[in-house]
Amino acid sequence: MAYFFRSSGDRPNSFNKSQIMGGELHDRLEENIRPFLDLIDKLRSIGIQKDLDMSLPTIVVIGDQSSGKSSVLEALSGVALPRGSGIVTRCPLELKLRKVTGGSWKATISYRRKKMEVANPSSGKTESSGARQDVRVSYIPQTITFEDPSLVERHVKDAQIAQAGDGAGISDEIITLEIRSPDVCDLTLIDLPGIARVPLQGQPLDIGNKIKTLIMKFIRKPETINMVVVPLNIDIATTEALKMAQEVDPEGTRTFAVLTKPDLIDKGTERHILATAQNKVVPLRKGYIMVKCRGQQQIDDNISLDEASTMERDFFENHDYFSCLLNENKATIPCLATELTEQLVDHIKKSLPLLDEEIKKQLSEVRKELKKIEGGPPRDPQGAKQYLINILSEFNQKMQSLSLGDLIIKENLFNELRVEYKKWNDFLNNSMSTFFHPSAKIKQEIMKNRGRELASFSSYRVFEMLLQKHVAQLKDPAIVLLTTVKDIIFKQFSCLSKDCFWRYPELLKLTMEKIEDIQSSQHRKAEERITEQFEMENMICTQDDIYFKTLNRNMKEAFSDTQLPLCDIASKYSDMLKAYYEIMVQRMADQVPMLTRYCMLKEAVHLLCKDMLTLLDSENVGEILSENTDIGRKRRDLQARLDRLNTAQGEIEKCI
């Protein structure tokens, strides 16, 4: 059985195989249609789908359960598909019909067999023991080629069981059935599970929703033509499938309907149904086509598809109401085949510019990605060395900028440091209040620590000792600040190194080792300096001018060095202590941050940059520059993608 294309101006009234296949017409149609279908086929075989955000143009068949979807596909393809009551189609079935000149009927079914494995069966624990078992699901691709059309039904059933299990469950994994034969039209359609209204025995309660979700996934795509199968023995307005199609395509630009079972309509409804078929009741932009397939009785009577086709023609020719549909090209399966092909080609033509644009977009993205990892170090020692010089000097430059605050990677280094330095300053200021409040405490301490002096006599030794005790308490927090600063700077150094050398694991490792060495020796050095600073602070020392300035600011009266003896009385001790402490705190608020920044950042960067250059003296520069294996893989993947996209673009350009 064959349905071949007829151009709109050339539709014969009576369907005649030999006439339609007749040479000239055939050739012209080959010219107009085949290249587009071939293009989509080629794009699919290139595997371009996985590179695109859009899908390739296809026709999807949807309808309520038992509306006649499979019967229509059967009639179009000339092969028997699984049928029965309930959900027979449980996975999307992509039916690729390819007309071949010469050669015999041949089909290939491909799908992915679901395999479940318990991840660690060796543990010996069974489910009943309560242990959780990890089940790993993997899919093994299957491809079976066969030459007997009567085997289609069995193979499709097997594939469904392999993918969706033996029960009544569904799966959204596609089964592809390609039929090559001189007797089919060129078409690709996807048959989807029918919309179930009520779950059958053994079916999950949410089966209806599951099926709808699956259908939605397909019909939502703007590249899909939705072919809605509507049986005429029910009210078209209540058809769920049509509602869904209208939901995703309110304009109706890619929806059209096939009316089935015209032999089963209620007497008296013919006029209304004719009006529906003529697009006068529920108007669809792409309209309706009425077909009559084999009923259950005819199947039971072993009526062949060929015979059914003749019977369909007779049915319409002799029908009191529907015969006019033949002239309007709105009835019979051959007419549907032509219509589908034309619509598909039309849709492909419309989608091409978008597809072309999408491919161009992807091409430029892939090229950009490739550029990032392109190049790589030269293989010859001289070239490799020059390359190393370049990347090292770039790294050193970046390090310098980082230490000057000109380069910001992720977080702002100087901001982070400032936050910590401010905390240190706040801590010093707070320590003042714990030292001097309550003020009676200071007086008590002075009295307690006095030597042979009578009360109210002054002793510089006591004054000094009290200050020394409190200054010493600031050392540990200063060391903590140093560690925090070290961590912050280390994070920034390693971040910058990864940024610069992520492609070269060996170089990155060497750099990190250097950073760690320099950081820890600088840390030791800074710690010594801080310790030394606190040893100096033990001396209690400031200039007279500075001391009096602070003292005067704190006290109501003004003192000068000539009034000194008046001041040196026990009652003024706490003011004097406070004045000195303030001076010391101010000194330390700057001194410790300056020390940490100098040792951990400025000097560390200087040392690191110098040390990095020693890498140029290495025996084996090639080893230092050996690349990450992931990069090689990524480059290969991108290259393959680039090839696919380029091929696809070349193919599209031939058709545009």
**Residue numbers of the site for Mg ion (CB under 5 A)?**
69-70, 88-89
Residues 253-312 that bind ligand GDP (CB under 6 A): 260-261, 263-264, 292-296, 299
| 224 binds ligand GDP, rule: CB under 6 A | no
CB of 77 to Mg ion, least distance (A): 13
d(CA 600, CA 591): 14
For every residue of 382-446, DSSP letters joined together read: HHHHHHHHHHHHHHHHHHHHHHHT---BSB-HHHHHHHHHHHHHHHHHHHHHHHHSSHHHHHHHH
d(CA 251, CA 289): 19
H-helix or E-strand containing 136? Answer: strand 135-146
| 67 binds ligand GDP, rule: CB under 6 A | yes
| 82 binds ligand GDP, rule: CB under 6 A | no
Nearer to ligand GDP (CB atom), residue 83 or residue 475:
83
How crowded is the C-beta side of 245, counted as CA atoms within 13 Å? Answer: 29
The answer to whether 6 touches 338, Cβ cutoff 8 Å, is: yes
The answer to whether 292 touches 283, Cβ cutoff 8 Å, is: no
Q: Residue with CB nearest ligand GDP?
A: 295
Q: Residue with CB nearest Mg ion?
A: 70
Residues 182-201 that bind ligand GDP (CB under 6 A): 194
CA end-to-end span of the chain, whole Å?
A: 33
Q: Taking CB under 6 A as the rule, which mask of x and - marks residues 550-579 in contact with ligand GDP?
A: ------------------------------
334 token code pair = 């051959």
CB of 212 to Mg ion, least distance (A): 16
Q: Which does 295 bind (CB under 5 to 8 A by kind): ligand GDP, Mg ion, none?
A: ligand GDP
Count of chain residues binding ligand GDP (CB under 6 A): 21
Q: Which does 629 bind (CB under 5 to 8 A by kind): Mg ion, ligand GDP, none?
A: none
The answer to whether 326 touches 346, Cβ cutoff 8 Å, is: no
Q: 3-state class of 90 per DSSP?
A: coil
332 token code pair = 């019979």
339 token code pair = 């219509």
The position carrying tokens 């400032």 is 418
The answer to whether 519 touches 605, Cβ cutoff 8 Å, is: no
Nearer to ligand GDP (CB atom), residue 66 or residue 403:
66
The position carrying tokens 């010219």 is 31
Nearer to ligand GDP (CB atom), residue 227 or residue 551:
227
| 65 binds ligand GDP, rule: CB under 6 A | yes
∠ Cα 626 629 635 (to 5°):
105
CB of 164 to ligand GDP, least distance (A): 16
Nearer to ligand GDP (CB atom), residue 62 or residue 474:
62
CB of 63 to Mg ion, least distance (A): 9
CB of 95 to ligand GDP, least distance (A): 12
Q: Which of 15, 40, 52, 63 binds ligand GDP (CB under 6 A)?
A: 63
Nearest residue to 390 (alpha-carbon basis) of 376, 369, 406? 376
Nearer to Mg ion (CB atom), residue 92 or residue 262:
92
CB of 50 to Mg ion, least distance (A): 29
| Residues making contact with ligand GDP (CB under 6 A) | 63, 65-71, 83, 88, 194, 260-261, 263-264, 292-296, 299
